[in-house]
A and B are shown apart, each in its own frame.
Chain A
Amino acid sequence: MSITREEVAKIAALARIRMGDDELERMVPELNGILNWVEQLGEVDTSQVEPMTAVIPNTLRLRADVVDADPLTGGNRREDILANAPAAEHGFFGVPKVIE
């Protein structure tokens, strides 16, 4: 299976990465090289095998349903959360207009 330039352009659009023509040209053979190499996984008989879901068995924990139980990850941290925003406005993340 090989991937076309149009498909790479589509994936780049899905991944929200703008790509110029030169970069697309470069990516096509590189991605094909990697894809052709990973194709060898098709040789492995996995008909009786479950896909891995957890590498080390662990139980899924639930936290107590308490507001601000952990002050680090609870609420009332607006200033901290906005501190690195490229455009913080009026206590919100500023973005270009989405709805015309």
Chain B
Amino acid sequence: MTNELTNLGVKAIRDGVASGTFTAREVAEAFNAAVADAASLNAFIVTTPDHALAAADSVDAARARGEALGTMAGVPIGMKDLFATHGVQTTAASHILEGFKPQYESTVSQNLWDAGAGMLGKLNLDQFAMGSSNETSYFGNVISPWKKAGSNAAMSPGGSSGGSSTAVAARIAPAATGTDTGGSIRQPAAFTGICGIKPTYGRCSRWGVVAFASSLDQAGPMARSVEDCAIMLEAMAGFDPKDATSLDLPVPGWEAALSADLRGKKVGIPREYRMDGTDEEILASWEQGKAWLRDAGAEIVDVSLPHTKYALPAYYIVAPAEASSNLARYDGVRYGLRDLPDGAGLQDMYAATREAGLGDEVKRRILMGTYVLSAGFYDAYYTQAQKVRTLVSRDFTEAFAQCDVILAPTTPTASFPLGDKTDDPLAMYLNDVFAVPASLAGLPAMSVPALLNSDGLPLGLQLVGKAFDEQSVLDAGLAIQQRAGFVAKPEKWW
């Protein structure tokens, strides 16, 4: 029974609890046990089995009283450790926040608890969400549950939401929150054969989410089906007056409106995404994706996004610039680590604290950001990058005059072994080449699993929609899901 329960997704758990097939407590106990059994994956920084059980008991009691249940009632989830959770350590996977226990709850996590979800624990990630392989966490690498055929090498679960992708793929959580600044939901989803959607910028409140690059950061769900993502995104999203960039719009009923019938829809294929060096199997999966969407009734049209190659360098100016400003708050005064050498003054304390508390990649990006914002370089780097960002966004507006949704690969390669790219920051950055343009333009974008490559590793397909049109993204994702029939799962070795 336990194994059966941990194979269920969000919708199946919610509906099973509502109908009385099993109790929310049975579900929480099964997942708590699966989490405890999977410590070698290092997906969680802290586990919170009591939180999951308390939420489950509350749902079971509400059901016994005959009350209406929430849309996530009885579903225990993993919470990326970038969301502030009241009284539960929140670290952003950084030493500088070790031991920090927020005295408040992030809006997104509160929305999920209000919908009846419970928390299995806080999920590991790249430090401050900076990374594409989950190798920059102070709390150690997350290991993907997947193995390359014929190899025992530890594989990357992607990043930055690598704890989330590993937990969902390994069936130790039915779903998890992620955040996406430049691909951090979609790339790990693609690497682990699961779904993940980043909604339009502003759909999910950033209040209580540790800030990386505020003009890009968006929360979203990661789960094993498009339906589960729709349900969870509905629970997470919504207007929040505490976030100045929150969209004051009603949350659409994405789940109820899901339709895989794409007749009358046009799917754009951006020619600039066919880049030199892209894996042949990735290109083949893209062709397969086109065939699936055509089969669903869509018309395939060629579109052009001429500034695609400039999106990634623009991102690596804009995001570090914002990060250098956002991370100035870690000063050893108000929360987190303090390193006060003997006889040190205030300025020395700041510098020593940040030396000891921040990881290499975080320091690298803070220095990049400080440099591009410094006097004499601001216009050449930062202003130019923001102008290029305008052009990237305009490319999408023009492409969406000819299509409803864009289909592209999520990543240029499948997952790689841990350690493969750690010596070369640029090679690591290039993994997000297909994901970053939609982030710069604030558009909804999703990765859905397509197939396994010849190494037995999952490949994802990416769908990008118009602003506010998550529905078209989810619908096209559903059409792919139904035709791909992706049921592969990692063999348990942990």
Question: Across the interface, do A18 and B313 meet the contact criterion of CB distance under 8 Å?
Answer: no
Interface pair A96/B391, CB less than 8 Å apart: no
B346 touches A18 (CB 8 A): no
Say if the beta carbon of A76 comes within 8 Å of chain B.
Answer: no
The answer to whether B371 and A41 touch across the interface, beta carbons within 8 angstroms, is: no
Give B360-374 interface residues, CB cut-off 8 Å to A. 363-364, 366-368, 370-371, 374
B101-A84 in contact (CB<8A): yes
Find out whether the CB atom of A55 lies under 8 angstroms from the CB atom of B215.
yes
Whether the Cβ atoms of B349 and A96 lie closer than 8 Å is yes
B176 CB within 8 Å of chain A:
no
- Is A18 a contact of B307 with CB atoms below 8 Å? no
Check A46 against B334 for contact (C-beta < 8 Å).
Answer: no
Whether the pair A15, B370 counts as a contact (CB closer than 8 A) is: yes
- B276 to chain A: closest CB distance in Å? 15
- A80 interface residue, CB < 8 Å from B? yes
**Would you call A38 and B317 a contact (CB within 8 A)?**
yes
The reply on A63 being an interface residue by CB < 8 A is yes
1/0 contact trace for A70-85 toward B, CB 8 Å?
A: 1011000100110111
A51 lies within 8 A of B383 (CB): yes
Instruction: Give Cα distance in the complex from A12 to B336, angstroms.
Output: 21
Chain A contacts for B387, CB-based, 8 A: 44, 46, 49-52
A63 near B390 with CB under 8 A, answer no
Contact B389 A31 (CB under 8 A): no
B425: interface (CB < 8 Å): yes
B388 interface residue per 8 A CB criterion: yes
The residue of chain A having its C-beta at the shortest distance from the C-beta of B347 within the complex is A16
For residue B442, CB closer than 8 A to chain A, the reply is yes
Which one, B50-58, B219-227, B240-248, is touching chain A? B240-248
Contact with B along A1-31 (1 / 0, CB 8 A): 0010001100111111111000100010011
Task: Please classify the interface of chain A as helix (H, G, I), strand (E, B), loop, or mixed, using the class held by over half of its residues.
Answer: loop
Could you tell me the distance between the alpha carbons of A61 and B429 in the complex, rounded to whole angstroms?
Answer: 36
**Total cross-chain contacts (CB, 8 A):** 173
Choose among B247, B309, B334, B368 the residue that contacts A31 (Cβ–Cβ < 8 A).
Answer: B368
Q: Which residues on the A side are within 8 Å of B346 (C-beta)? A: 95-96, 98
> Which B residues between 117 and 141 are near A, CB-CB below 8 angstroms?
none
Q: How far is the CA of A87 from the CA of B335 in the complex (A)?
A: 9
The reply to whether B247 and A95 contact each other, CB–CB distance below 8 Å, is: no
B144-152, B164-172, B350-358, B474-482: which lies at the interface: B350-358
* Contact yes or no, B241 A56, CB < 8 A: no
Interfacial chain B residues near A16, Cβ < 8 Å: 328, 331, 347, 350-351, 354
Q: Are A40 and B334 in contact (CB under 8 A)?
A: no
Q: Which of B21-29, B255-263, B283-291, B337-345 contacts A (4 or more CB under 8 A)?
A: B337-345
Note all chain B residues with C-beta closer than 8 A to A43: 310
Taking CB atoms, residues of chain B closer than 8 Å to A37 are 313, 316, 426
A67 at the B interface (CB under 8 A): no
Say whether A91 faces chain B, with CB atoms less than 8 Å apart.
Answer: no
A70 to B309 CA separation, bound complex (whole angstroms): 45
Whether A72 contacts B104 in the complex (CB less than 8 A), given A41-B317, A55-B393, A85-B334, comes out as: yes
Of A27, A44, A58, A80, most buried by chain B (CB within 10 Å of CB) is: A44
B202 at the interface (CB under 8 A from A): yes
Is A90 located at the chain interface by the 8 A CB criterion?
A: no
Question: Which B residues lie within 8 Å of A72 (CB)?
Answer: 104, 242
With an 8 A cutoff between CB atoms, is B333 at the interface?
A: yes
A21 smallest CB distance to B (angstroms): 13
Task: List the A residue with the shortest CB-CB distance to B309.
Answer: A40
Q: How far is the CA of A51 from the CA of B98 in the complex (A)?
A: 37
Q: Does A34 contact B (CB under 8 A)?
A: yes
Between-chain CB contacts (< 8 Å), 27 pairs: A16-B328, A16-B331, A16-B351, A16-B354, A17-B351, A17-B363, A27-B367, A38-B381, A41-B388, A46-B384, A51-B383, A51-B390, A52-B387, A55-B442, A56-B442, A84-B100, A84-B102, A84-B335, A85-B333, A85-B335, A86-B333, A86-B336, A93-B333, A93-B334, A95-B333, A95-B346, A98-B346
Chain A residues with a Cβ under 8 A of chain B: 3, 7-8, 11-19, 23, 27, 30-31, 33-35, 37-38, 40-44, 46, 49-56, 58, 60-61, 63, 70, 72-73, 77, 80-81, 83-87, 93, 95-98
18 extra interchain contacts, Cβ-Cβ under 8 A, other than A27-B367, A61-B244, A81-B103? Answer: A15-B324, A15-B366, A18-B352, A18-B355, A37-B316, A38-B381, A41-B388, A43-B310, A53-B386, A54-B245, A55-B441, A56-B201, A58-B202, A60-B244, A81-B334, A86-B335, A86-B338, A87-B338
